[in-house]
Amino acid sequence: MFLISCPYCGERDQSEFVSGGEAHIARPKQPTELNDDQWAEYLFMRKNIKGIQFERWNHVHGCRKWFNVARDTSNDKIEKIYKMGEQPPKI
């Protein structure tokens, strides 16, 4: 349990948000051209990092907007919050 600073609403309790999992996994432009291994990689395989992980969050009980969070999963400390479409920060 921790606080998240929504880039649109400010600091709120984590229970107002839902996690959308690992960030920066782009949907393939032409899924029909992928083989099964590539599709499985996109759909199921995750880094599941212990340490700094880049992930998507949605302020579902607030503005309902998506944004990115760089969070240390070993202690739940948030390092950086940045908007969708922005490049992940160097940490």
**CB neighbour class for 25 (10 Å; exposed up to 12, middle 13-18, buried from 19):** middle
Q: At closest approach, how far in Å is the CB of 10 from another protein?
A: 20
One-character DSSP codes across 7-23 = TTTEEEEGGG-EEEEES
Is residue 18 within 8 Å of 60, Cβ to Cβ? yes
Is residue 40 involved in binding another protein (CB under 8 A)?
yes
Q: Which stretch binds another protein (CB under 8 A): 23-31, 43-51, 82-90?
A: 43-51
Q: Site map for another protein, 51-80, x if CB under 8 A? A: --x-x-----------------xxxx----
| Under rule CB under 8 A, residue 50 binds another protein | yes
The gap between the terminal CA atoms of the chain, to the nearest Å, is 23
For residues 20 to 39, the per-residue mask of contacts with another protein, x marking binding by CB under 8 A and - elsewhere, is -xx-------------xx-x
